[in-house]
Amino acid sequence: MPSHTKSTARLGDRVFSNLSKGSGIALLAIMAAIAVFLAIRAVVAIRANEGNFLTTFAWDANADPPYFGIAVLLFGTVVSSVIAMVLAVPVAVGIALFISHYAPRRLAAGIGYVVDLLAAVPSIIYGLWGALYLVPQLTGLYEWLDQFFGWTGVFAYDGTPARSLMTVGILLAIMILPIITSVTREVFLQTPKANQEAALALGATRWEVVRMTVLPFGRSGVISASMLGLGRALGETMAVATVLSPSFLINASLLESGGGTFAQNIASQFKEAGSMGRDALIASGLVLFLLTLLVNGAARLIIARRKEYSGANA
Amino acid sequence: MKLRLGAVLVSGALVLLTACGTDDNSGLPGAVDFSVENLRCAPSGTLLASGSSAQANAMEVWVNTYQANCEDSQINYKATGSGAGVQEFLQGTTAFAGSDSQLTESEVEESRRVCRDGGRAVHLPMVAGPIAVAYQLPGVDDLVLDAETLARIFDSDIRRWNDPAIAELNPDARLPDIPITPFHRSDGSGTTDNFTSYLNASAPEAWPYEPDKSWRGRGGQSADGSSGLVGMVQQNPGAISYFELSYAHQNDLDTVRLDTGADEPVEATVENSSNAVAQADVTGEDGDLALELDYATRETGVYPIVLVTYEIVCDRGNNPATLDLVKAFLTYTAGEDGQRALGEIDYAPISDDIIQQVRQRIDAMD
């Protein structure tokens, strides 16, 4: 940073510098205040808890003494998000590649616009669409899965309304598709022309160009796009609360109803929570916060390691 | 705030979606006449209150009526749920709370910090609502069940509609051979608390779980809010669930008649549930009017699954800034006009004997 003396700094410079410095400090102070508040409330709840906070399969936080645990919520949050990622990332990369390298220019603009539009739909609309339209449609698919893969236990299905973690995963996949697609597309579009033309000059087909230049160049971009999507999937509230049939059980089958997620549980329990119930929900929120932090940290590590190969600055 | 707004939107949207196709608006506050004669107004002011969503429709009618008759008065009742409402009252941010359930002892102790002059929080029963058990079963529009059968259905012990236990209670019905899908509330709810209180009191062997705002039974599916349950019953043949009677009426759903052991199975109606409130005992002491219902009643014409919701106020030492307005508003709601308005929107008025005591209590508030 170049040092500057008072005589060369104008008033505007000083005001702006202080303003931006102040904003930065305020952000840190607010974050710290929130974290401290959450941590204090969470400790109160966890101290009073009669169950094991990590392993108990129940949520009786308003009972006296309170008895609750986050095992089911952690499982449901992670599983539904993983399903969403498995379904959404390949499709998103496909759409992004189509837009950036295959589609005619006018079509590409149109598709890009539609994908961005998907991101503007509020999550409650996805929830209502999921509950009223998607759930009845999935029964057939689940029966088929049960018929051929039911023996694994993971895809066993009992014919009840399809309001399970799998359904939530499918809905979340649709919801995070646009954000992964648009970020990935931007990264793919930035692949250096020189590299692509060099590959073409060597006689590569279009697929080989993509494989040799676009994908390696965009890899860290795809990872950060996926993490943005994962962040949304982990914290999604209303769509999950509308579609899922929650219960405090872990079901071996992904297709049978039950389970829950952190955000959904907070939305469901908050209205009738007493002071202890509220603290317990805050404690579960803190775990979600840590989970998101962990996921983002892991993503940054991966990106940092890949950076030297790709040249993309993520 | 975001969560709450979202929840309101869901229920609102589901009600809109599920209400399509019926012109019967008798259960909606929109169809109610707001004009009342000789309503005593307090000096103008603004009142904040929050709590039970079970009494939200009644509050809407009352607030509209009061504001239509007393200009310059603003009453703002937020249906945040009982738990949140009681919390806000105990923090002193609201003038009264609506609650489906009675305060715990520690909450009453806590209220002494908000109520001045050595006062404490008391319960004023104001609205009662029948909880209907609704179902969707093709070809069956009259269904009789008793507490034990209901308990076994909701505990996933009886799994098909043509089970002998159901057939025995309904000899004339043609029960189809399809699976039963019982739906319960996924959120904490006073409705669940009352429904399971009934099951536990009337069929303790089939329903050994303690009554609670959270669901304790095994199996079944769950959904958020009464409107969520309505949607599920409409969507799934073979479904059965429980919610306030108004939801069943607004959506034209069939409701179960209960075989309580009386001469004749009782239907979920405003009148039958008023009869249940009339038989309730006042268990509160020193001017507190907390009620205890007899869920295991066998009397003719008494529908036992009734949700009584209270207004929570301080008996002494209410906030002087809002005291007059609270008294005027509650005097109206507990008065004849206020109570009469309830029947039109599928709530049950509180019986004469008890509402008299409520009025005295309100007069004595300071």
Indicate whether B330 pLDDT > 70.
yes
Once rounded to an integer, what is the mean pLDDT over residues B270-292? 90
pLDDT of residue A168: 96
Mutate one of B187, B218, B226, B240 to test the A interface: name it (highest A CB count within 10 A).
Answer: B187
User: Do residues B39 and B332 touch, judged by C-beta distance below 8 A?
Assistant: yes
Taking an 8 Å cut-off on Cβ atoms, the answer to whether B221 and A257 are in contact is yes
Indicate whether A188 pLDDT > 70.
yes
Q: Which of B10, B189, B213 is closest, CB to CB, to A238?
A: B10
Taking an 8 Å cut-off on Cβ atoms, the answer to whether B214 and A59 are in contact is yes
Indicate whether B10 pLDDT > 60.
no
Residue B342, class by beta-carbon neighbours within 10 Å (0-12 exposed, 13-18 middle, 19+ buried)?
A: buried
Distance of residue B3 Cα from the nearest chain A Cα, in angstroms: 6
pLDDT in tens, B217-254: 888 999 988 888 999 999 999 999 999 998 999 899 99
Mutate one of B222, B229, B232, B240 to test the A interface: name it (highest A CB count within 10 A).
Answer: B222
Once rounded to an integer, what is the mean pLDDT over residues B77-104? 90
Once rounded to an integer, what is the mean pLDDT over residues B86-101? 92
Taking an 8 Å cut-off on Cβ atoms, the answer to whether B187 and A257 are in contact is no
Q: Chain A partners of B53 at a C-beta cutoff of 8 Å?
A: 271
Nearest CA in chain A to B191: A272
Tokens standing for residue B248: 């069943």
Cα radius of gyration rounded to whole Å, chain A: 24
Distance of residue B283 Cα from the nearest chain A Cα, in angstroms: 21
Distance of residue B168 Cα from the nearest chain A Cα, in angstroms: 26
Residue ranges and CATH numbers for the domains of chain A are 21-312 (1.10.3720.10)
pLDDT in tens, B302-329: 999 999 999 999 998 898 889 999 999 9
Q: Which residue has the tokens 């219960």?
A: A247
How far from chain centre, in Å, is Cα A203?
Answer: 40
Contacts of B77 (CB under 8 A, 6+ apart): B49, B50, B51, B56, B59, B60, B63, B98
Query: Strands B306-314, B96-99: parallel, antiparallel or unpaired by DSSP?
Result: antiparallel
Once rounded to an integer, what is the mean pLDDT over residues B70-85? 89
Distance of residue A263 Cα from the nearest chain B Cα, in angstroms: 9
pLDDT of residue A97: 94
Q: Of B269, B245, B211, which is closest to residue B58 (Cα–Cα)?
A: B245
Q: Which of B181, B187, B236 is closest, CB to CB, to A269?
A: B187
Instruction: Report the amino acid identity of residue A181.
Output: T
Indicate whether B24 pLDDT > 90.
no
Nearest CA in chain A to B236: A161
User: Helix A165-189 crosses helix A105-119 at what angle (to 10 degrees)?
Assistant: 140
User: Do residues A138 and A110 touch, judged by C-beta distance below 8 A?
Assistant: no
Mutate one of B9, B18, B181, B214 to test the A interface: name it (highest A CB count within 10 A).
Answer: B214
Tokens standing for residue B180: 């039963």
Tokens standing for residue A100: 């950036």
The contact set of A with B (CB < 8 A) is 59-60, 62-64, 124, 127-128, 131-132, 135-136, 159-161, 163, 237-238, 241-242, 244-247, 257, 266-275, 277-278
pLDDT in tens, B133-171: 999 999 999 999 999 999 999 999 999 999 999 999 999
Q: Which of B80, B179, B223 is closest, CB to CB, to A245?
A: B223
- The full DSSP string for A166-226 is HHHHHHHHHHHHHHHHHHHHHHHHTS-HHHHHHHHHTT--HHHHIIIIIHHHHHHHHHHHH
Q: Chain A partners of B230 at a C-beta cutoff of 8 Å?
A: none
Contacts of A129 (CB under 8 A, 6+ apart): none
Once rounded to an integer, what is the mean pLDDT over residues B272-291? 90
pLDDT of residue B355: 93
Nearest CA in chain A to B105: A64
pLDDT of residue B21: 35
Q: Chain B partners of A246 at a C-beta cutoff of 8 Å?
A: 186, 222
pLDDT of residue B34: 66
Contacts of B87 (CB under 8 A, 6+ apart): A274, A275, A278
Taking an 8 Å cut-off on Cβ atoms, the answer to whether A277 and B7 are in contact is no
User: Do residues A182 and A115 touch, judged by C-beta distance below 8 A?
Assistant: yes
Indicate whether A73 pLDDT > 50.
yes
Once rounded to an integer, what is the mean pLDDT over residues B106-127? 91
Q: Chain B partners of A267 at a C-beta cutoff of 8 Å?
A: 3, 6-7, 187, 224
Confidence band for B60, pLDDT divided at 50, 70 and 90: very high
* pLDDT averaged over every residue in chain B: 87
How far from chain centre, in Å, is Cα A301?
Answer: 18
pLDDT in tens, A16-25: 999 999 999 9
Which ipTM score applies to this complex? 0.80
Confidence band for B117, pLDDT divided at 50, 70 and 90: confident
Mutate one of B224, B229, B232, B241 to test the A interface: name it (highest A CB count within 10 A).
Answer: B224
Indicate whether A229 pLDDT > 90.
yes
User: Helix B225-235 crosses helix B2-19 at what angle (to 10 degrees)?
Assistant: 40
Once rounded to an integer, what is the mean pLDDT over residues B283-300? 89
For the entire predicted model, the pTM comes to: 0.82
Q: Which residue has the tokens 């199975």?
A: B265
pLDDT in tens, A136-159: 999 999 999 999 998 998 999 988
Query: Strands B281-282, B291-292: parallel, antiparallel or unpaired by DSSP?
Result: antiparallel
**Does the CB of B26 have a partner CB in chain A at under 8 Å?**
no
Q: Chain A partners of B6 at a C-beta cutoff of 8 Å?
A: 124, 237-238, 267
CA–CA separation, B279 and A228 (whole Å): 59
Residue B176, class by beta-carbon neighbours within 10 Å (0-12 exposed, 13-18 middle, 19+ buried)?
A: middle
HSE of A97 in the Cβ direction (CA atoms, 13 Å)?
Answer: 20
